[in-house]
Chains A and B, each alone.
Chain A
Amino acid sequence: MAIEEKNAQGGIHGRKIELLIRDDENSPEVAGKRVHELAALGVEAIIGPNVSSIAGGMLPAIVETSIVTISPTVSSLFFVGKDDPFFRMNSSTRQNAGAYAANHYAKGGRRVSAAFGIQNRLFTESWLKEFQTAFEALGGAVVATAPYDAKGADGYAAVVAPLLAVNPDAILLVSNGVDTAQIAQQFRKAGSNIKLIAAEWAASEQLIELGGKAVEGVTILQTYDRDSVVPAYTQFRDTYIGQFTNRPGYSSIASYDAAMVLFAALERSYAEKGLSLKEAIFAVVPVKGLQQDLTFDRFGDGARKKFFVTVKNGTFVGE
Chain B
Amino acid sequence: MIFRRERRLRTSLIFLLASTTLVTLAIVGTGILVVRLPQIVTANQTLVDRAAEETASRIEVFLKGLEERVALVAQTAYDVPDARVGSMLDAARGDAFEALYLVNKVGTVVAISVGNVSAKRSREMVGIDLSNSKLVRAVAEKKNVVWSDKFLSAVTGIVTIGVAIPIERFGGVVIAELPLATLLKISHIARGAEGLEFWIIDGHGEVVADTGLPSASGFNLRNNPVVKAGLAQNPVAERMTFKSREYQSAASFSRALGWLFVSRIPAGLENRRIRETVGLILIAFIASPLIGLILAPFWARGMTEALAPVIQRARMIASGAPPGAWPRGNVVEFNQLTSDLEAMSKSLQQRQLELRDLNEGLEARVEQRTQDLAIANDELTETLSTLNRAQGELVHSEKMAALGRLVAGVAHELNTPIGIGRMAVSTMRDAVFQLEKRMKTGLRKSDLTNTIEHLLSGSDMAEKNMIRAADLISSFKQVAVDRTTSNRRRFQLLEIVDEIILTLTPIIKQKSIRVDREIPKDIILESYPGDLGQVLTNLIDNAIKHGFDKRDNGVIRISAAPLSKNVIRLTISDDGHGMTKGVIDKIFDPFFTTKRGCGGTGLGMHVTYNAVVSILGGAITVSSTPDEGSVFQIDLPLIGPNRNIA
Contacts and interface: CB of A to CB of B under 8 A. Distances in A.
Interface in A138-179: 150-151, 153-157, 178-179
A210 B118 contact: no
B38 to A, nearest CB: 32
A213 B104 CA distance: 14
Interface in B122-145: 123-124, 127-134
A157 B223 contact: no
Contacts of B127: 185, 189
Nearest to B213: A23
B131 A244 contact: no
A188 interface: yes
Interface of B is mostly: loop
Given A185-B128, A210-B152, A212-B132, A154 B118 contact: yes
Given A178-B152, A243-B220, A243-B223, A209 B132 contact: yes
Contacts of A25: 215
A75 to B, nearest CB: 22
A244 B129 contact: no
Residue picked from A156, A185, A206, most chain B C-beta under 10 Å: A185
A182 interface: yes
A185 B223 contact: no
Residue picked from B107, B120, B129, B219, most chain A C-beta under 10 Å: B129
A181 B121 CA distance: 15
Contacts, number: 77
B154 interface: yes
Given A206-B152, A244-B222, A155 B124 contact: yes
B132 A188 contact: no
Interface string B233-262: 000000000000000000000000000000
Contact of B123 (A155, A181, A213, A244): A155
B204 interface: yes
Contacts of B39: none
Interface size class of B (residues with CB under 8 A): 20 to 34
A212 B107 contact: yes
Nearest to A244: B220
Interface in A229-265: 243-245
Contacts of A151: 157
Interface in B27-72: none
B128 A212 contact: yes
B129 A188 contact: yes
A189 B124 CA distance: 8
Contacts of B117: 153
Interface size class of A (residues with CB under 8 A): 20 to 34
Nearest to A18: B244
Contacts of A208: 132
B154 A181 contact: yes
A161 to B, nearest CB: 12
B228 to A, nearest CB: 11
Contacts of B123: 155
Nearest to B129: A212
B133 A212 contact: yes
Contacts of A57: none
A178 B107 CA distance: 18
Contacts of B130: 210, 212
B149 to A, nearest CB: 9
Contacts of A23: 215, 217
A186 interface: yes
Nearest to B120: A155
Nearest to B223: A243
A212 B132 CA distance: 5
Contact of B152 (A154, A209, A243): A209
A186 B129 CA distance: 10
Interface in A92-129: none
A309 interface: no
Nearest to B220: A244
Contacts of B128: 182, 185-186, 188-189, 212, 214
Interface string B452-464: 0000000000000
Contacts of A56: none
Contacts of B107: 212-213
Contacts of B121: 153-156
Nearest to A213: B129
A315 B157 CA distance: 20
Nearest to A154: B120
Contacts of A213: 107, 129, 131-132
A236 B489 CA distance: 142
Nearest to B134: A209
A209 B215 CA distance: 25
A211 interface: yes
Nearest to B154: A210
Contacts of A157: 120, 124
Contacts of A150: 157
A243 B222 contact: yes
Contacts of A214: 128-129
12 contacts: A154-B120, A181-B154, A182-B157, A185-B127, A188-B128, A188-B129, A189-B127, A189-B128, A208-B132, A210-B132, A213-B132, A245-B204
Interface of A: 21, 23, 25, 150-151, 153-157, 178-179, 181-182, 185-186, 188-189, 206, 208-214, 243-245, 314
Given A151-B157, A213-B131, 14 more contacts: A23-B217, A150-B157, A155-B124, A179-B157, A182-B154, A188-B129, A209-B132, A210-B152, A210-B154, A212-B129, A214-B129, A244-B220, A245-B204, A245-B222
